[in-house]
Amino acid sequence: MPSPPVDTPTPTRWHHDAVTHARQHSPQVVAHRGASEDAPEHTLAAYRKAIEDGADALECDVRLTADGHLVCVHDRRVNRTSNGRGAVSALELAELAALDFGSWKNRDEEPDWEHRPEDREATSVLTLERLLELIADAGRRVELAVETKHPTRWAGQVEERLLHLLKRFGLDSPATAQESPVRVMSFSARSLHRMRAASPTLPTVYLMQFVSPRLRDGRLPAGVRIAGPSIRIVRNHPAYVERLKRAGHQVHVWTVNEPEDVDLCVELGIDAIITNRPRAVLHQLGR
C-alpha cells in the first residue's frame, strides 16, 4: 500500500492537530440534557454529573405545565422518559412530581455516579427553577442554554414565563450578550423574536435541522447572532459554517457525540459543541 502524501494527516496526526487547535480555540462544551449518556436526561442527577465532569454549559428543553411551571422535558408527552403517560401541558406539576423520570435508563449501563433510591429528587421531574438554583450553587461559572419547544398550546406564555423566571435570578437583561450566562435557543424564529423584543441583550440561538434556501448565504433571522445547525448539516455542508462565520455569527452544533465529529467541529472553528458526553469530549479536547 503506498504511503499517504506528506500533507495528508493520518488519523493520529489529525487527532493531534485537532487537540492543538482545540486548546487554542477552546470551543465551549455544552452538556445536552445534562450528562445524558451517563444519567437519565433532564434529571438533577444528569446535570450534577455534567457540572462534576467540567461542562462549560448545560442545555435543557423547557415546557409549560397546566399550572404554569416550566419543567425540563424534551418530548411533548412524558411517555418515553417516565413511568407515566400524557402531555406535559395537560399535567400539573404535582402530577409530574409523582412520576419516576429515571428508571427507564438501562441499569446495566449505569456509570460511576451513585444512584441513591432515597434521593428521589435526583430522578424526579426537574423544574427550570431548580436547575437555575443548581447552577447558582455550582461554585464556578456554568452557562445555560434553554430551548423553547414548539409548537405548543401555550403560544407566547412559555417565553413570558421564562423571562419572568430569569428576572428572579437577575439573568433577564445582561449588560451585553457576551456577558450573559444564559442563552435561549429555538427552531422557532417567532419564539426568538419574542425573546429579543422583551430582552434585546439576551443572546438567542436559531436551531436548524436543515438550511433554509433563504439563509444559505449565512444570514439568520433578525437579531439572532448564533446559529445552531445539526452535526448532519456540518458534516454535509462544512462550507456553510464558513459562510456563517463570515457573516459574523457564532456557531453552536448539536448533538456531537462521535470523536470524528468533535475533530471536525474543532477544525471548522465551531464555538460550542453540544454533546451527551461532556466528559469524553473534554478529554478529547485535552481539557
Residue length of the chain: 287
Residue 281 sits at the vertex; the CA angle it makes with 279 and 284, to the nearest 5 degrees, is 110
Tens-digit pLDDT profile for residues 13-47: 444 554 454 445 689 999 999 999 999 999 999 99
Contact in structure between 98 and 89 (CB atoms under 8 Å): no
If one compares 124 and 113, the residue with the highest pLDDT of the two is: 124
Tens-digit pLDDT profile for residues 181-220: 999 999 999 999 999 999 999 999 999 999 999 999 999 9
Distance CA 188, CA 216 (A): 17
Residue type for position 286:
G
Distance CA 270, CA 274 (A): 11
pLDDT > 70 in the chain, percent: 86
Distance CA 275, CA 33 (A): 9
Task: Give 198's contacts (C-beta < 8 A, 6+ positions apart).
Answer: 159, 163
Residue 25 main-chain phi, psi, to 5 deg: -85, -30
pLDDT at residue 137, as a whole number:
97
Contact in structure between 183 and 166 (CB atoms under 8 Å): no
Q: Please, which residues bridge with residue 206 across strands?
A: 186, 227
Contact in structure between 250 and 227 (CB atoms under 8 Å): yes
Element (H, E) at 149: none
Residue 99 main-chain phi, psi, to 5 deg: -90, 160
- pTM of the full structure: 0.88
Domains and CATH numbers, the chain: 28-284 (3.20.20.190)
For residue 264 the three cell numbers come to 471536525
Model confidence at 116, pLDDT cuts 50, 70, 90, reads low
Name the residues annotated as catalytic: 32, 74
Task: Give 196's contacts (C-beta < 8 A, 6+ positions apart).
Answer: 202, 204, 223, 224
**Segment among 4-13, 33-42, 156-165 with least mean pLDDT:** 4-13
Model confidence at 11, pLDDT cuts 50, 70, 90, reads very low
pLDDT at residue 165, as a whole number:
97
- Over residues 218-230, the mean pLDDT reads 97
For residue 30 the three cell numbers come to 455544552
Nearest to 82 by CA among 44, 53, 123: 123
Q: 43: how many CB neighbours lie within 10 A of its CB?
A: 24
